[in-house]
Structure 1
Amino acid sequence: MHSRHRDDDDEQLDEQPTKFVDIAKKWPKQTFLIIGNELCERFSFYGMRAVLTLYFVNVLHFKNAHATVFFHAFTVVSYSSPILGSILADGYIGKFWTIFSVSILYAIGQILLASASIAPDDNPIHPWLDMLGLLIIGIGTGGIKPCVSAFGGDQFPAHYTKMISYFFSMFYFSINAGSLISMYLTPYLRSVPCFGNDSCYPMAFGVPAILMILATLIFMAGSFWYKKVPPKENVISRVMATISRALKNKSSGIPRSHWIEHSLDGHVCSKSKVCRELHGKCAERKFVEDVKVLFRVCLMMLPVPMFWALYDQQGSTWVIQAISMDAHITDSWTLIPDQMGFLNAFMILLMIPIFQSGIYPFVEKIGIKLTLLRKMTAGGLLTATAFIICGIVQLFVNRDLPILPSADEAHMTIINTFPTCEFHTEINTVDSFLLPANQTKLKDVIEPAIIKGGIEFTANITFDSDAPNCPKFVANPVLYSGYSYYLALSPIGWAYTATPLKKPSNGQGEFAISLNYMVSCDNIPDAVTWKECNSSTSTYNGVIGLCKVDELTRPEAPCDPKSDGRFYQFSPSRRHQLEVHDYQTGEITNTGATYDAIDVRPGTYRLYYIDYEIDYVHNARPSAEQTRFYPLDLPPITQNHMGGVYTLTIATRSKLDVVSYSQIMVPYNKVSIIWQIPQYIVLTAGEVLFSVTGLEFAYSEASPQLKSVVQAVWLFTVAVGDLIDVVILSLNLFSDVATQMFVFGAAMYIVMAIFILLAVNYYEYAHYANDDSEAANAIVDTDKIQ
């Protein structure tokens, strides 16, 4: 007891240092460990989150809408759990043990996610281990969020306000440095080929996992030097107890001016230790008055969740939009779609000082008074405008997206590989058109025929030709509504197959190409001794490789299966039998093969028959020396555009006369990713005005003892905003991204109109006197000011 008073007296006698030398001498050195911990943790979180949407799409094979929903669901967990962390730290085990124990949990989640990403896509651990890891990460990052900054403030004497201000500037810098570096670097780590794949999610998740382990070790290194303030009454719990008591006593019949005042029913100051210490002043009444002001502040925060519902879509919907855009900036520089979020993190650091020292003074100078609510209004309107801009950009992007059949129709693309035969074509006696000969088309999409029908139906397609030695026949393919098909005519017969029109989604400049192989075994070179043919009517059923041709190609080994990004294969495991029908009888006389589409990076490639002399394992391909290869005598395939979907048909004209025909099924991406920059600029300006100002408003309007509650409420608005995204996007209400952007933008305009009415007609600013001791320990969460 006496020792504690002595410590307090010493602290009062210890004057606050103001000179740099004195500050350096008295600076608590353990706080550098806290700053280092925050830098590593923010790198870990934002690095993992930057590539999360593409991981859902490309590894877990979620549809775009489902990937968006799960991304926002993860954010809901991450910003709901801070309340639990706050209660645990302030009411039970203290900030130190909360940070330590939850950090271990956090690191385990990152390790689980990184481990899951190593497994092949078809491994049964997906998506269960991934989701478990993300759940643990969400709880971990939220659990320590309200504790780290406050724990850093605890290391200083309360009256060292200048040093505390320096600390939080350094702390804020560490947050932004961690997020900036990770949001720029992690997409590059993801884009590096590894484990036989074009992307390296194990590295993209592994590095953040290592950084989180490092963050925990750095934090624990200062364990013996930290000032560990014991837990006290949790203010959030006290507010909830006050509300609960007021609701319970509301029916007591005692007249009150506000329902929250019913929490005072039965309160006797003489029995309250806190009230007795204030010598006649009622502490509980003061607290209830503060809660009443808190409710007013919370009411004005009602539009904040809608802001986050829009803002956080830059990590999901905007990334998906970027995948469908042209990321080539120059011949040697290509942006990565999930790297665009770096713009927001970078521009927020530029815009905050520009607004504070330039724009705000200028606006005040021309006679417009800038209150906090006016700034928030402008920010909300700018945020809505950013989504309108995004929707307009998406309208142009939509021109390059595949045209998908509706539920009562099938689409049929017909390709003619005959060198001299033109066909007059009629489908179901309704649509007729001329089908040209020798059809290769790489610039314009061949318009598919739209065939109406039931769930399953047989089409009637008549082909007629006036040229000699050209067949006249009727094809009767069995089709299913909602699917796209590809029908090829070759000298050995006609064949058709379903064709998925999925654009590449890895975001690394790829184009997609599928292969229809209609060459019988008799026409395969004898040098391909590994061919497995049961009869002359069957076809090659092995691997066909796509090998890059450039100055790095070795003549003695043009195909190296270990060379990720330079070697791709049409694998038998993704090969389907292609039935070739005779023109006269319609009977199946030959079999070909169709290989599923693969995503290929831009460049020039040649096709090879491939044979592995050892067993092939997904993550351990044979070397070039363990591979036999023989080239197909066909022209090279050159494609330098990204996002297009192509079909390559290989057929025979005569004995050993093998030819190829390439068709573009879906256009390549023509809208430059640079057109996303305006929406990022407007959104970031909206963030400065709305988010930064909104946190300032909520923090300054709350009483000193309820500032931690305001921080918790602010973080919770992020969770509510992302929950709005989860609910709305789960309903699958939007036909395309453009409609989604316009609806969210319009909703934000409506919300801001309501906000303006509340600001004008309802809210009155509170006026709290500055409390230096409280201000010294007041911690503003900077995590959402980026």
Structure 2
Amino acid sequence: MKYGKTLVNDVKTTLKVLVLFVPLPIFWALYDQQGSGWTFQATRMDGYIGFYTILPDQMQVINPLLILIFIPLFTYLIYPAFAKCNFLKTPLQRMVCGGLLTAASFGISAGVSFALEATEPSLPTEGNCQIRIYNPLDCNAILTAEPYIKNQDIKTMGYTNLDIPNVYGEKVVDFSITGCDGKINYQTGSNLSVIEKETLFYYMLPDSFVRGQDDIERDENGLPKIRTLVNKRVEDFNLTYSDSEKDVLNLPSNDDSLFSINPGSYKVQSFPKELKFYLGGVYTVLVSLDNNNDVQNVEYYEVTQPNSVHILWLIPQYVVITAGEIMFSITGLEFSYSQAPVTMKSVLTAAFLLTTAIGNLIIVIIESAKIFEKQSEDFLLYAGLMVLDMILFGLMAMKYKYINMEQNSDNEELENKSERKESNAIDNPTFKHNDDDA
């Protein structure tokens, strides 16, 4: 025989377990999103707790901490308690339950995403344009741009927010500014653009009416974003944002770009007013310089509200998915090792770990397909896939017969001894065989 009986039996046993591994990658497709989907979710949440601001990526520390707590809790309390009810006694039962808990965690996560989506800034839709006009000058201005803007009052160091309907394509219209005579060298112009589905900002300077593309969406990392508009252009002059300890941001006074900054309280130059920036907020800072280029006034405005749903609302989904991990991942490794023949233990353990890689590939495929636009819908999709996957896994588990490897090893050892005795037997040539036995 080319292969020994023991090896053939080991391969058969291993294949029976490997079949059960087919549904497992879906679990990892959900579990590994703690570092991607859930972290992105945290970037849109408020981490302020009074004396400290929790940053989005810091939430990932919850999972390992809970694992340290849950392992003894499940081993000495939860499993024995359920065993008395004849439930969760076998590894496969625990794995099915762990998978369903993982699906539940994504259901919770979808609920949080629904709450977050309700706080997203409103972008202009088809046929609409959104314009913000800032006045960093020391005069009250009145702006008219027929037919879209009529006698719009803009206070000194103030701004106005306009949602303009019935805009199709791009229109460039004439405008006029009154109330700032002697402060600006233009009272009329023909460069005010209104663009469909765009968010624009304008600000007044003594010699020009400046337009820019506004961005009211929150920072992808969840940090505050600030734009600084100064009442005059000064070459080779920088403005400095500083917190209580050091200078944090140094930028040219004529740079009206958006910058990301850590949340906290800041001052511009030595001006005493504190500017408070919160996670997820988008802010415009107006700075007025005097003739000596010293800061004489600072105002700031909230363009996009900061994150309002607190980051601690993520804790329930972390608790549930960690419980699912204990019941699914740790139990799965234990099951793989206990049901593997001695010669195949490393093979089954490696195959179990391979399901992680396949799960990550599933994430790439689903995210690349962009089946849904909203994250909440993606999370519901993952939860639904996990429920279906666990139904399939449960049906497969019902047909599986557990193997006592210790007993098998004893039987195999007896068989091997018997085979060795037969192979070591010596045929006596002088022994006469009966013709009937020949």
TM bucket normalised to smaller: 0.7 to 0.9
Alignment of structure 1 residues 660-675 onto 2, 5 Å: 660-675=298-313
Matched, 1:302 2:6: no
The alignment status of 1:568 with 2:249, answered yes or no, reads: yes
User: Would you say 1:605 and 2:256 are equivalent positions?
Assistant: no
Alpha-carbon contact 2:44-2:116 (below 8 Å) kept: yes
Paired position in structure 1 for 2:133: 414
RMSD over aligned CA atoms reads 3.8
- C-alpha displacement at 1:713, in angstroms? 0.5
Match of 1:730 in 2: 368
- Among 340, 344, 348, the alignment partner of 1:706 is 344
Give, in whole Å, the separation in 1 of the partners of 2:265 and 2:394. 55
Structure 2 residue aligned with 1:325: 45
Cα 1:342/1:652, change in 2 over 3 Å: closer
What does residue 540 of structure 1 align with?
234
Q: Deviations over 1:62-113 (max 9, x none)?
A: xxxxxxxxxxxxxxxxxxxxxxxxxxxxxxxxxxxxxxxxxxxxxxxxxxxx
Rounded to whole Å, the distance in 1 between the matches of 2:100 and 2:146 is: 54
Equivalent residue for 2:201?
A: 486
Give how far 1:389 is off.
1.2
Residues 1:710 and 1:293: Cα distance change in structure 2 (over 3 Å): same
Q: Is the 8 A contact 1:490 1:651 kept in 2?
A: no
Preserved contact between residue 134 and residue 203 of structure 2 (Cα < 8 Å):
yes
Give the Å deviation of 1:319: 1.7
Alignment of 1:311-710 (within 5 A): 311-331=31-51, 333-368=52-87, 370-404=89-123, 411-416=130-135, 419-421=139-141, 437-438=155-156, 440=158, 446=161, 449=164, 452-454=167-169, 457-460=170-173, 476-478=191-193, 483-489=198-204, 493-501=208-216, 503-504=218-219, 510-519=223-232, 539-548=233-242, 550=244, 563=246, 566-571=247-252, 594-607=256-269, 636-650=273-287, 660-710=298-348
Deviation at 1:718, TM superposition (A): 0.5
Larger Rg: 2
Asked whether the 8 Å contact 2:275–2:300 carries over to 1, the reply is no
Deviation at 1:412, TM superposition (A): 2.6
- Counterpart code for 1:680: Y
The alpha-carbon deviation at position 725 of structure 1 amounts to: 1.0
Aligned match of 1:93: none
In structure 1, C-alpha distance between the alignment counterparts of 2:231 and 2:261, rounded to whole Å: 22
Given that 2:100 and 2:324 are in contact with CA atoms closer than 8 Å, whether structure 1 keeps it comes out as yes
Q: Post-superposition shift, 1:440? A: 4.0
Shift of 1:652: 7.8
Is this contact kept in 2: 1:412–1:450, CA < 8 A? no
CA contact (8 A) 1:517 1:650 kept: yes
In the other structure, the counterpart of 2:377 is: 739
**What is the identity, as a one-letter code, of the residue corresponding to 2:335?**
F
TM-score where L is the length of structure 1: 0.46
Structure 1 residues 669 and 367: CA distance shift in structure 2, 3 A:
same
The answer to whether the 8 Å contact 2:130/2:162 transfers is no
Distance 1:494 1:660, change over 3 A: farther
Structure 2 residues without counterparts, runs of 5 or longer? 413-438
Aligned to 1:669, the other structure's residue is in SS state coil
Matched to 1:647, the amino acid is T
Identity of aligned pairs, percent?
28
Distance change in 2, residues 1:686/1:753 (3 Å) = same
Q: Which residue of 1 aligns with 2:430?
A: none
Which residue identity is paired with 1:602? Answer: G
How far off its partner does 1:322 sit?
1.8
The AA in structure 2 aligned to 1:697 is: F
Give TM-score scaled by structure 2 length. Answer: 0.78
Distance across 1 between alignment mates of 2:237 and 2:22: 59
Amino acid at match of 1:718: T
- Measured at CA, do residues 380 and 478 of structure 1 come closer, stay the same or move farther in structure 2, by a change above 3 Å? same
Judged with a 3 Å threshold, the aligned counterparts in structure 2 of structure 1 residues 468 and 604 are, in CA distance, closer, same or farther, namely closer
Deviations 1:4-48 (A, max 9, x none): xxxxxxxxxxxxxxxxxxxxxxxxxxxxxxxxxxxxxxxxxxxxx
| Alpha-carbon distance change, 411 to 735 in structure 1, aligned in 2, over 3 angstroms | farther
Query: Would the alpha carbon gap of residues 411 and 744 (structure 1) be closer, same or farther in structure 2, given more than 3 Å must change?
Result: farther
- Closer/same/farther in 2, CA of residues 718 and 480 from structure 1, 3 Å limit: farther
The runs of 5 or more residues in structure 1 that have no matched partner are 1-268, 273-281, 520-538, 553-562, 576-592, 608-630, 775-786
Within 5 Å, give how 1:263-274 maps onto structure 2. 269=1, 272=2
Deviations 1:298-338 (A, max 9, x none): 2222221111111111112222222222222232x333322
User: When you count helix as a share of all residues, which structure comes out higher?
Assistant: 1
Partner Cα distance (1:426, 1:357) in 2: 76
AA at the equivalent of 2:209 = W
Once residues 746 and 655 of structure 1 are traced to their aligned partners in structure 2, the CA distance between those partners, rounded to angstroms, is 65
Structure-2 change in CA distance of 1:366 and 1:661 (3 Å): same
* Structure with bigger RCO (C-alpha 8 Å, 6+ apart): 2
Query: Equivalent residue of 2:370, what SS?
Result: coil
Would you say the 8 A contact 1:428–1:461 is kept in 2?
no
1:744 is displaced (CA, Å) by: 1.4
Amino acid at match of 2:284: T
Code of the aligned partner of 2:401: E
The 3 A distance-change label for structure 1 pair 378 and 449 is: farther
Q: Deviations over 1:595-636 (max 9, x none)?
A: 4424244113123xxxxxxxxxxxxxxxxxxxxxxx6xx663
* Rounded Cα–Cα distance in structure 2 between residues aligned with 1:447 and 1:691: 54
1:88-107, aligned counterparts within 5 Å? none
Match of 1:238? none
Structure with greater strand share of residues: 2
Does the CA-based 8 Å contact 1:511-1:602 persist in structure 2? no
Separation in structure 2 between the aligned mates of residue 292 and residue 362 of structure 1, nearest angstrom: 35
User: Which of 396, 402, 405 pairs up with 1:768?
Assistant: 405
Provide the residue aligned with 2:421 in structure 1. none
How far apart in 1 are the matches of 2:230 and 2:325?
54
Alpha-carbon distance change, 405 to 293 in structure 1, aligned in 2, over 3 angstroms: farther
Tell me: CA distance 1:324–1:747, structure 2 relative to 1, closer, same or farther (3 Å).
same
Which digits, 9 at most, give the CA deviation of each residue in 1:171-220, with x for residues without a partner? xxxxxxxxxxxxxxxxxxxxxxxxxxxxxxxxxxxxxxxxxxxxxxxxxx
